[in-house]
Amino acid sequence: MKDSRVVVIGGGMVGAALGYGLAREGIETLMLDEGDQGLRAARGNFGLLWVQGKGADFPAYARWTLESCRLWPDFAAELIELTGIDVHFRQRGGIHYCLDEPELEAYRLELAQQAAVSGTDFEYQFLNARQLARLEPHIDANIPGACYSPNDGHVNPLFLLRALHAGFLARGGHYRPRHHVLSIETAQDGFVLHTDQGPIRAEQLVLAAGLDNCRLAPMVGLSQPLTPQRGQLLITERLPRLLNYPSIYLRQTGEGSIQIGDSSEQVGLDDGNTPAVMAQLARRAISLLPALRHRRIVRGWGALRVMSPDGYPVYEQSRTPGPRVHAFSSHSGVTLAAAHALTLAPMLLEPALSPELDAFTPQRFKD
């Protein structure tokens, strides 16, 4: 049984970003992952780097999201330079469409509140019909309201996952797929991870196993209350340029296809897709972007979001003496990838996480 300094369990969006950040600090890091059949939100998501509408009622999250989007330009440049993988990072802003008047009014209040807790770096502007038509000439002119924020952007999430893994290896990290961690034992000087390929010893442990954090955390005295939330997505054939900016419902990829999203369902661990939800997504997409009528959908899929009870990240560190363990679970792992890699990972080498992250402990669900 070989010792590893730090073992990260999970090679999805959170684990790969943290693993990359640790290897970048020169730390000997081993990342254990499941095989292709494992649940992996990182493989099924929408690819937004999204700030507007995030954290109005959770100031620490509003600031953390903004911080990550501020880091993203340099992060994307670093990944391409190191790995040669272009993650299709675009940060020219994003647009949120309000589909009826009550939603528009509620969104105005929400963004005012978000701005109040975010500081001056968060910018947004509600658009009238003329302004919207100038930015997005193909969007239906009868949309009740829209809001632009220059802080938003998008990437190709599959290229991002690949770049994080390639960057991790390039910086000396070790990756073992098809190593499902079954259980964890705490020893005096570290941990023994029982995997389906045999035991592995770790001096320090990072749980980043997505939904499985819920099962693994209690084995090391932590708590990660999580539930799966299914989202379904569609993608069209490649089309000429129809959209200049991403939104939570539609974005045009670097290759030209239009990705269509945003559904949410509570269906346990079923990551399939259904005709009813796909039809709903397609109808809403056509109402926003009429040019999509009669265009072909080439693929549709479901994936499970990693959701905490309030939807915000759950970051946790061991508080008792003994070997160190952290656990990180988060929705919006694409948006937060830059902060996870460049800001959070170096903190794992410090005696404690920064107090700015105290708001994310699971203690908040007990208070």
Ligand X SMILES: Cc1cc2nc3c(=O)[nH]c(=O)nc-3n(C[C@H](O)[C@H](O)[C@H](O)COP(=O)(O)OP(=O)(O)OC[C@H]3O[C@@H](n4cnc5c(N)ncnc54)[C@H](O)[C@@H]3O)c2cc1C
Looking at beta carbons only, is 53 or 210 nearer to ligand X?
Answer: 210
Minimum CB distance to ligand X, residue 360 (Å):
14
Looking at beta carbons only, is 32 or 325 nearer to ligand X?
Answer: 32
Kindly report each contact of residues 56-61 with a partner whose C-beta sits within 8 Å and lies 24 or more positions away, as own/partner. Answer: 56/110, 56/111, 56/113, 56/114, 56/117, 57/113, 58/310, 58/312, 58/359, 59/117, 59/118, 59/359, 60/356, 60/357, 60/358, 60/359, 60/360, 61/312, 61/313, 61/359, 61/360
Token readout for 342 is 């460049």
With tokens 């899929």, the residue in question is: 301
Minimum CB distance to ligand X, residue 5 (Å):
18
Looking at beta carbons only, is 305 or 324 nearer to ligand X?
Answer: 305
Looking at beta carbons only, is 101 or 255 nearer to ligand X?
Answer: 255
Minimum CB distance to ligand X, residue 346 (Å):
19
With tokens 């945003």, the residue in question is: 262
Helix (H, G, I), strand (E, B) or coil at 61: helix
Looking at beta carbons only, is 317 or 330 nearer to ligand X?
Answer: 330
Minimum CB distance to ligand X, residue 142 (Å):
26
What does the alpha-carbon distance between residue 246 and residue 166 come to, in Å, rounded to a whole number?
27
What does the alpha-carbon distance between residue 102 and residue 121 come to, in Å, rounded to a whole number?
27
Minimum CB distance to ligand X, residue 63 (Å):
16
Binding site for ligand X (CB under 6 A): 9-15, 32-34, 38-42, 44-48, 50, 180-181, 208-210, 212, 231, 233, 303-306, 329-335
Looking at beta carbons only, is 129 or 359 nearer to ligand X?
Answer: 359
Minimum CB distance to ligand X, residue 172 (Å):
21
